[in-house]
Amino acid sequence: MTADEKLKSGVLVWYTCVHGEVEFAEVVLLELREGETPEQAVENYFKDFFADETIFEDGVYYSADFSEAVGVNSWKVVPPGDYAVLRKYL
C-alpha cells in the first residue's frame, strides 16, 4: 500500500434496491476524493446508477421506466485506516 492510499478516506453507503416486488439491501464503499463532500460522493455515485436514464425524485433514484429504484438509507465517513481495510473486503 502506498502512502497516498493510506491517506484516502471514504464513504460507506447503505442503500435499498427495489426491482418489482423484490427488495434487498446493499452496501458500497466510495472513495472520498480531494475537495469532495460526502454528500457529493454519494450523489455522484447514484446519479448515473441506471446509466444516463436515472431519474431522481423525492430522494429516490429510479430507472427510466420506474421499474427499478434505489434509495439511500444512510452513509458514514470512513477514516483512512478503516477505508484501507474495508476496501480489501467490499
Q: What is the pLDDT of residue 90?
A: 85
pTM of the model: 0.87
Q: What is the pLDDT of residues 30-68, one digit of tens each?
A: 999 999 999 999 999 999 999 988 999 999 999 999 999
DSSP, collapsed to helix, strand or coil, labels residue 82 as helix
| Residue 1 to residue 84: CA distance in whole angstroms | 9
- Annotate 9-68 with DSSP letters as a single string: EEEEEEEEEEETTEEEEEEEEEEE-TT--HHHHHHHHHTTTTGGG-EEETTEEE-TTSSE
